[in-house]
């Protein structure tokens, strides 16, 4: 008997189908992966299950009994818990208030909020994940994006009036470090051992293959296949998702970097055509370094410095605006759009071309960014950065949430542009990405560049050791 089954789930937005007749079943104690490229319909399916989006058609059964889920409270009552892709947190409230959001607060004398009890409940929820470094009284605004994610995840583990049966997680590890991800996986294994289930979305294929039992693959809103992960290879799974063979190989550099410096600082010189990786443990100062170099946005864009920030929604995008305006925003001088007059038509053409380069999946250049899937929003940030043909490109975790197919296309674009002289600073917690793309890697510790090493011949292990401040040779 399935714990949860979905039958014939369909949904169209303004006539454009996002889901077409999707079926999915999850057994008790199963971790089920939901896979597909950016825009395939994963988050839409999850929002339907959460009672956030109304489907056009859907039959939902829990323990084989048909149920109606038309609001989040109903989903909660049925034992469903959600960690959505886009964080719905309130930065002005405390960690504890965010964890308790939508739940009744503990009260004293039936009226006054019992803050002590509230904070204790929040602390307990955090401890489920082994988190002790986050103070429940702290305002969320003061937390890093990774810590905010941990707060959000913890709230799913808070005990409710009805027992939890199924945890639905939409890219929970996108903003987490390795250690934090490992802690989450340990909790997932406990959930499984207790006979409860997980529906899991991630673009990290290896993570899915080691964590999940079965997968359902969506392409273009259609259910393509579903089965046990033990019976499929990594490459075949990717081919199912993307619908074509993808070579997951980092494109080689086309030429050696030149000697001409693009950026010179006491601690770092970046040369034309060079890619410098920035590595370090979480919070070692990577984001601050890039922000410092970027400085004043208006001046920076003018000087040919482009920036793909880590926090795409708050820093990289105006989601209430159409795609093309987001892409052309920093390039609103006609010359940089390659013509004489800046007309909306030219703006849209410019945006369409860049969108194609990064495999943006959208109804058209005038679609609002808020209507795009998470990964496609990230591609808009990318297209915007590449638009002015920058001299120096600053990238902070640029491929987070981007599907494997588009990811390797983006690497190829970066290579083409460096061959033409663009220099790149690439901050990433994805070690293969750093080793595959960078010429040299700057290791940051305690807010400073501790050392710069050649990427050639470096192993993941050696790089990790350097991040921890251990010697690269000692294993």
Which residue in 115, 141, 147, 102 sits closest to 129, CA to CA?
Answer: 147
Q: What is the C-alpha to C-alpha distance for residues 118 and 138, in angstroms, rounded to an integer?
A: 13
Give me the phi and psi of 55, to 5 degrees please.
-80, 160
Give the β-pairing of 107-108 and 305-308.
unpaired
410 is an interface residue for ligand ATP by CB under 6 A = no
Residue 414: exposure state from Cβ atoms within 10 A (0-12, 13-18, ≥19): buried
365 is an interface residue for ligand ATP by CB under 6 A = no
Residue 8: exposure state from Cβ atoms within 10 A (0-12, 13-18, ≥19): middle
Joined together, the tokens standing for residue 336 give: 């940089």
As measured in angstroms, the least distance from the Cβ of 254 to ligand ATP is 30
Specify the residue, 38 or 196, whose C-beta has the smaller distance to ligand ATP. Answer: 38
Q: Which residues contact 159 (CB under 8 A, 6 or more apart)?
A: none
405 is an interface residue for ligand ATP by CB under 6 A = no
* 92 secondary structure, DSSP code: T
Contact 233/206 with Cβ under 8 angstroms? no
As measured in angstroms, the least distance from the Cβ of 401 to ligand ATP is 6
Contact 388/420 with Cβ under 8 angstroms? no
Contact 306/393 with Cβ under 8 angstroms? yes
The 214-253 site mask, x for binding ligand ATP (CB under 6 A), equals ----------------------------------------
Joined together, the tokens standing for residue 422 give: 């663009």
181 is an interface residue for Mg ion by CB under 5 A = no
41 is an interface residue for ligand ATP by CB under 6 A = yes
As measured in angstroms, the least distance from the Cβ of 82 to ligand ATP is 13
As measured in angstroms, the least distance from the Cβ of 158 to ligand ATP is 25
Angle, helix 374-387 to helix 344-357, in steps of 10 degrees = 110
As measured in angstroms, the least distance from the Cβ of 153 to ligand ATP is 17
The closest residue (CB) to Mg ion is: 43
Beta carbons within 10 angstroms of residue 370's beta carbon:
13
Quick check: helix, strand or coil at residue 226?
strand
Specify the residue, 322 or 375, whose C-beta has the smaller distance to ligand ATP. Answer: 375
The closest residue (CB) to ligand ATP is: 375
85 is an interface residue for Mg ion by CB under 5 A = yes
End-to-end CA distance of the chain: 48
Give the count of residues interacting with Mg ion (CB under 5 A). 5
Question: Nearest-5° angle of CA 203, CA 207, CA 208?
Answer: 70
As measured in angstroms, the least distance from the Cβ of 18 to ligand ATP is 3
Residues 8-37 that bind ligand ATP (CB under 6 A): 13, 18, 36
Residues 369-388 that bind Mg ion (CB under 5 A): 373-374
371 is an interface residue for ligand ATP by CB under 6 A = yes
Query: Pick from ligand ATP, Mg ion, none: which does 40 bind, CB < 5 to 8 A by kind?
Result: ligand ATP
Give me the phi and psi of 107, to 5 degrees please.
-130, 155
Joined together, the tokens standing for residue 470 give: 């251990």
Q: In the set 32, 36, 43, 48, which binds Mg ion (CB under 5 A)?
A: 43
286 is an interface residue for Mg ion by CB under 5 A = no
Q: In the set 33, 40, 164, 442, which binds ligand ATP (CB under 6 A)?
A: 40
As measured in angstroms, the least distance from the Cβ of 338 to ligand ATP is 28
257 is an interface residue for ligand ATP by CB under 6 A = no
Specify the residue, 13 or 468, whose C-beta has the smaller distance to ligand ATP. Answer: 13
42 is an interface residue for ligand ATP by CB under 6 A = yes
As measured in angstroms, the least distance from the Cβ of 189 to ligand ATP is 25
Query: Pick from ligand ATP, Mg ion, none: which does 36 bind, CB < 5 to 8 A by kind?
Result: ligand ATP
Place of tokens 């997968």: 215
56 is an interface residue for ligand ATP by CB under 6 A = no
Q: Which residues pair with 60 in a beta bridge?
A: 6, 67
Give the count of residues interacting with ligand ATP (CB under 6 A). 18
Joined together, the tokens standing for residue 33 give: 């992966």
As measured in angstroms, the least distance from the Cβ of 224 to ligand ATP is 13
Percentage helix, strand, coil for the chain under 3-state DSSP, each rounded to 5: 40, 25, 40
Binding stretches for Mg ion (CB under 5 A):
42-43, 85, 373-374
Binding stretches for ligand ATP (CB under 6 A):
13, 18, 36, 38-44, 85, 361, 371-376
């Amino acid at each position: 008997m399935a714990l949860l089954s979905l039958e014939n789930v369909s949904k169209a937005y303004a006539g454009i189908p996002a889901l077409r007749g999707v079926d999915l079943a999850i057994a008790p104690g199963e971790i089920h992966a939901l896979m597909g490229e950016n825009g395939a319909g994963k988050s839409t399916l999850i929002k339907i299950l959460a009672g956030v989006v109304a489907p056009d058609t859907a039959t939902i059964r829990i323990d084989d009994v048909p149920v109606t889920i038309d609001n989040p409270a109903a989903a909660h009552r049925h034992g469903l818990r959600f960690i959505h892709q886009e964080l719905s947190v309130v930065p002005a409230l405390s960690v504890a208030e965010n964890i308790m959001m939508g739940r009744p607060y503990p009260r004293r004398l039936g009226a006054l909020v019992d803050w002590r009890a509230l904070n204790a409940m929040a602390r307990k929820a955090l401890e489920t994940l082994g988190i002790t470094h986050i103070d429940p009284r702290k305002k969320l605004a003061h937390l890093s994006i990774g810590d905010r994610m941990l707060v959000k995840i913890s709230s799913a583990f808070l005990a409710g009036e009805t027992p939890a049966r199924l945890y639905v997680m939409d890219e929970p590890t996108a903003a987490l470090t390795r250690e934090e991800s490992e802690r989450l996986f340990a909790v997932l294994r406990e959930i499984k051992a207790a006979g409860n289930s997980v529906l899991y979305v991630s673009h990290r294929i290896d993570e899915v293959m080691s964590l999940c039992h079965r997968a359902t693959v969506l392409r273009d809103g259609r259910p393509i296949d579903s089965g046990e992960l033990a019976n499929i290879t990594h490459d075949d799974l990717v081919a199912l998702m993307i619908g074509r063979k993808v070579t997951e190989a980092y494109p080689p550099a086309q030429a050696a970097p030149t000697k001409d410096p693009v950026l010179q600082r006491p601690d770092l010189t970046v040369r034309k055509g060079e890619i410098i990786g920035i590595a370090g443990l979480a919070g070692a100062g990577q984001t601050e370094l890039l922000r410092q170099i970027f400085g004043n946005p208006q001046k920076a864009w003018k000087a040919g410095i482009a920036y793909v920030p880590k926090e795409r929604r708050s820093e990289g995008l105006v989601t209430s605006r159409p795609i093309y305006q987001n892409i052309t925003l920093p390039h609103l001088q006609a010359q940089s759009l390659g013509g004489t007059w800046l007309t909306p038509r030219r703006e849209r053409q410019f945006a369409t071309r860049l969108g194609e380069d990064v495999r943006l999946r959208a109804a058209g250049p005038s679609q609002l960014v808020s209507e795009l899937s998470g990964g496609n929003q990230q591609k808009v940030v990318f297209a915007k950065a590449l638009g002015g043909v920058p001299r120096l490109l600053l990238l902070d975790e640029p491929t987070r949430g981007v599907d494997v197919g588009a990811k390797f296309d983006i690497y190829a674009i970066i290579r083409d542009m460096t061959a033409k002289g663009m220099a790149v600073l690439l901050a990433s917690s994805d070690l293969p990405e750093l080793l595959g793309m960078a010429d040299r890697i700057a290791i940051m510790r305690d807010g400073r560049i501790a050392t710069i090493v050649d990427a050639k011949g470096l192993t993941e292990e050696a790089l990790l050791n350097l991040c921890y401040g251990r010697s690269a040779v000692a294993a």
